[in-house]
Structure 1
Amino acid sequence: MDFTALNTNTKTGATSNTGAASATGTSAQETSDRFLKLLVAQLQNQDPMNPMDNAAVTTQMAQIQTVTGVSTLNSSIQALGSQFGQMQALQSVSLVGRDVTVPGNKISVADGKSTMSFDLGGAADAVKLEILNGAGEVISTQDLGKMKAGMQSYTWDASKATETTNLSFRVTATNASAPVTATTLTRDTVRAVNTSGATLQLELKNSGLVDYDKVRSLG
């Protein structure tokens, strides 16, 4: 009996996702049923003088059991993923009204001061922080000197600044003239949680929608 076509369908069922299997009308259960029907038909019509090889039958049965097991495992993983997403959405609701730190460059001035945070991808021997107004013009420049890799912060005295709203900042860092990656971070307030899309998002007061996994810290 030629199992080539059956093996081809078996491999496809093992590597395809559940949606694809449903779309093509082929599933692990259907493949298993087809295999059993073919096996029974062969046993009924085999030549008594040249019976089937037991080892070949055992191998084919082991393969079909593997396919069925993989299909069950995929279904279990998808169910766990769905439950995890629901738990994540419920947990994120508790963030409403709280402050979070996310990638961004917005500045908030309170009591004449503003604390800005950024993440350096490596050690730098020269770090420059620039504050820009709403038109993108630099209104203040701070040379911060040498800094280590990782999270850094700087508090700006804005008491004498002529503009304190709609501000942003940028950081430029170098090490022996080679650029060092600097990711600016902003502190914002969570106003709502958005679960309508494929990715869980937080709606922030100043930064708009931000993916939940972009949150660096809370508080």
Structure 2
Amino acid sequence: MKLYLLFLLMATATVFSPGPGVVMTLSNALRYGLRGTFGGILGISAGALAVAAISATSLGVLLAASALAFSIMKWIGAAYLFYLGIRLWRAAPHRFDAKPTHEAGLRQRFVEGLSLQLTNPKAIFFFLSVFPQFISTERAYVPQFAALVLTYSSLVIVIHCGYALCAKRARDWLTSERGGRLLNKGAAATFIFFGAAMASAKR
């Protein structure tokens, strides 16, 4: 495995940069508290493992080689992100200071995080384009693949937990009506931006 430190830095920057997964973690932290973020964070991490696994299979090769397959993947992901953005933009401000009407189930948050990560352009394009460059063809593939993927998934857990802690500290501002409205609009704009970025991506 070559240039592991460079991979670590690039992966950290990719996970740390604001995106749909970060928005979900912040939103869950404010709605359900720190414990309520764990399911979503684990789902996002598992989604990264799934995207990495796909990139290592014949499907990954097909997506990299076929313009049609790439376009289908791109537009499905973009449509989903646009849907999330429009729904948030039209939603009433969240009352994060109110008690949730239902318990933040670990399974439900996990499925949401997993679904979101599977359409996250950051993860998809990282594993399809950047990731293969850090695997040496002169050494065994599986150990290198496992080490890099587990590194990325571990970074997801650590960095998103950090985001959740920051959201808790900023709760007083974000639980106000103005803060809730700005969070909605900001989250919606983020989803729409990444949807547009995915829709405009080229092979």
TM range (shorter): under 0.3
- TM-score norm. by structure 1 comes to 0.24
- TM-score norm. by structure 2 comes to 0.26
Greater Rg by CA: 1
Richer in strand (by share): 1
